[in-house]
Amino acid sequence: MKRPIEADWWEAGLLVAGVDETGRGALAGPVVAAAVILEPGEYPFRDSKTLTAREREGLEASILQAAIAYALGTAEADEVDNLGILKATHLAARRALVELDPRPSALLTDYLKLQTSLPLRAPAKADRDSPTVAAASILAKLARDRHMVLLDQAHPGYGFARHKGYGTPGHLEALGRLGPSPEHRRTFAPVLQPRLI
């Protein structure tokens, strides 16, 4: 098994928080970030995008059991519009990190270069090479998907439960037919100029 990129920090006794987010490219709903601190060890966790919904759900209990601490943070659609997607993503990550108890002593993210006084590593593909970031990616994805199912009930007709707010043909068709909901990101081009039916 490949050596995790946080292994030397673990060996130094640092509490490493892995941070990952989901929903940056969606047309509707929040950006959701998760922060997770794991005990040093070997884990089967991997990038949530490589897992099925059932596999993510199956790993959730293992993550929560192994975690020293975990937390979620969100930035809502209006915050994405007001701040821009990158700043909103940083906001969601900060909101997750401030909820961690105990506090981390180092941060590891998937190419998210947060402003922090802590040691930070932000390599690309960290969700592939770090079980801590992979665990965060799974928790973030599960939380956002569940939230989008609730939004589907609140705003029927868009298919949020199916496509989770991403720009599928069915979603674009619904946008053209219904116009944007309060959960849509008005500054994203497909929402700003929906296809007319």
pLDDT tens for each residue of 49-103:
889 899 999 999 999 999 999 999 999 999 999 999 999 999 999 999 999 999 9
Q: Give how far the C-alpha of residue 54 lies from the chain's centroid of Cα atoms, to the nearest Å.
A: 17
**Quick one: 192 exposed, middle or buried, by C-beta within 10 A (0-12, 13-18, 19+)?**
exposed
For the chain, the domain total comes to 1
- CATH number for 14: 3.30.420.10
Q: Is the pLDDT of residue 11 over 90?
A: yes
Site of tokens 């991403």: 166
* pLDDT band (50, 70, 90) for residue 197: very low
Please give the pLDDT value at position 185. 97
Give a yes or no: residue 175 inside a domain: no
In the prediction, which pLDDT does 2 show? 84
Residue with token string 């997750």: 96
- Please check whether residue 42 lies inside any domain of the structure: yes
Residue 172 belongs to some domain of the structure: no
Residue 17, both tokens: 């928080």
- Structural domain of 62: 7-155
